Amino acid sequence: MRDTTIRRYNPETWPIASAMIHRKNDLGDGRTVQDQSADEWGVALAEVAAAGFAHVDPFDSWIRLADLERSRLDEFMAVTRDVGLSIPAISTARRSVIDPERGDEFLEYGHRVIDTAAEIGAGAVSFGLFGPLTQVQQQALWFWTVQGVVNPDDRDVYDKAVARIAELGRHAGELGLEISLEMYEDTYLGTADGAVRFATDVDLPNVKVNCDLGNLVRLHRPVEDWRSMMEKLAPFAGYWHAKNYYRMEDHGTGMAMSSPAPLEFGVINWREAVRMAFHAGFRSAFALEHYGGDGLSVCATNLTYLRKILRATMVTS
């Protein structure tokens, strides 16, 4: 197995990727990003590099690298290198291995993603158990304000999820890759306790938790304090989607509201969260996400902020 730890990185070289969620797969002209030319891919990727990034996570909501023919994958990687970017990890979204209709298909796809990640030199793959956006969610300004798909309270389905993620984890382990399981509301990874339980049940050293606390603090409902969550999650932390939200709560009525925030301004104290994870052994890459407005520019600001945190954390360790 390859050594995929990041002990060799310092704060200046620690992989911090831009997530490609600021671009859509559907181009609106009958094509998708899968169909674009290498030059068109280059435009999108050069924009990321120009924002100050040396790393990118293509996210399969933008392009499904595992579904490209070999020659096309080679084209994509050539363009990526030409603009000065590398890919530390690949994130999947809304392709749950326990989807009631397409779970078998998504399991097979997950294996292809792992093979693709190894082929291009990525060190991790992020998987989640969350389903597709409902029609109402797609129409909402912020999709997380509307109830989405819920993992069933069914022991057989839970066990199936554990078994399938373990299958992917063993495959990844053979190739020296990390699997990171994304926290997301109303899934088996929808709380800190649930995520710890799930990762413990999978019981593989290369299967970690993607501590995407932003997915939870943005909910318009009661949520556990982020510090309490991070205390539980820190020993399990792997490849990490980082974002933040403003959150307002009315204690009298129980009403909660949120909106996206730059990493340093939201309710999560990322300086403290990173420090907690680092001292518990976290040595994986980050991906920066932001919804709304000029998401790429906000992520570029977040890149500078996160590097400052890493410098301070590693100096004091």
What mean pLDDT do residues 208-236 have?
98
> How much of the chain exceeds pLDDT 70, in percent?
97
pLDDT in tens, 176-215: 999 999 999 999 999 999 999 999 999 999 999 999 999 9
pLDDT in tens, 83-103: 999 999 999 999 999 999 999
CA distance 238 to 244: 18
- Residue 246 near residue 266 (C-beta atoms within 8 A): yes
Residue 311 has pLDDT above 80, yes or no: yes
What mean pLDDT do residues 268-296 have?
97
> How much of the chain exceeds pLDDT 90, in percent?
94
What mean pLDDT do residues 120-142 have?
97
Residue 223 has pLDDT above 60, yes or no: yes
pLDDT value at residue 10:
87
Enter the pTM of the model: 0.95
What superfamily does domain 16-315 belong to in CATH? Divalent-metal-dependent TIM barrel enzymes (3.20.20.150)
pLDDT value at residue 275:
97
Residue 41 has pLDDT above 60, yes or no: yes
Residue 315 has pLDDT above 90, yes or no: no
Q: Is the dihedral of CA 233, 298, 223, 166 positive or negative?
A: negative
What mean pLDDT, rounded, does the chain reach? 95
Residue 6 has pLDDT above 60, yes or no: no
Residue 236 has pLDDT above 80, yes or no: yes
pLDDT value at residue 9:
74
pLDDT value at residue 316:
65
What mean pLDDT do residues 239-265 have?
96
